[in-house]
Amino acid sequence: MMKKCYLYSLIWFFFLPNLAQASSYAPLADFSAVRQNAQCQMTLLSEAFLKNWTPPENFFSVPAYPHARLVSAIPSGTAHIKGKNYLTFPSAVLLSPDPPARIIEFYTNTLGLGWHQTEDHGLTYIYRMPKPISSGEALTQHLMSRPGYTPNIAIDTDLRPCDQLLVPGAKTRITVVAAPR
């Protein structure tokens, strides 16, 4: 009986964390290197958010990019910051060592009808709407006027040193935004 209990404990110890991780939207970044860097305090806040909520595997209407690591996620709700309430919408930030062109190709081949692409201010947006918006600037205005109501993916290369600590060799940030739930 004691051997059986020990065996179950070993199974629990080695496999349960992996099972819990397997149902996550994407594999989590390794935060150990940023914990030792005082300049990465905001990055550690993202880790704290992930400990409270990690999106499940099929949470967003788009798959996570296969070579990406999850570095931040926020669910629908209300955030209380400095005495004010802010509506939050489901979003996830991933980092990938792949170049933007490869990521855009993945999403273009994966998403299907109703998804369109445009660029604005160095970002490539892939967004879901009945028809394309006339310009990247018009899409940005639309996204800012009703945040979270247009599912979209923003792809950019404006990475910070702390991003490199989270995902060594990262070249691209992928921000996935879904409608509030």
Mean per-residue pLDDT, 75-84 = 81
**Residue type at 90 in one-letter notation:** P
Predicted TM-score (pTM) of this structure:
0.83
How confident is the model over 4-37, as pLDDT tens digits? 333 333 333 333 343 344 489 999 999 999 998 8
User: pLDDT value at position 38?
Assistant: 87
User: pLDDT value at position 147?
Assistant: 76
Mean per-residue pLDDT, 81-105 = 91
Give the DSSP letter of residue 122: T
Classify residue 147 by burial, with Cβ atoms within 10 Å: 0-12, 13-18, 19+.
middle
d(CA 166, CA 31) in angstroms, rounded, equals 6
Helical residues (DSSP H) of 95-173, grouped into ranges: 100-111, 136-145, 161-166
User: pLDDT value at position 145?
Assistant: 86
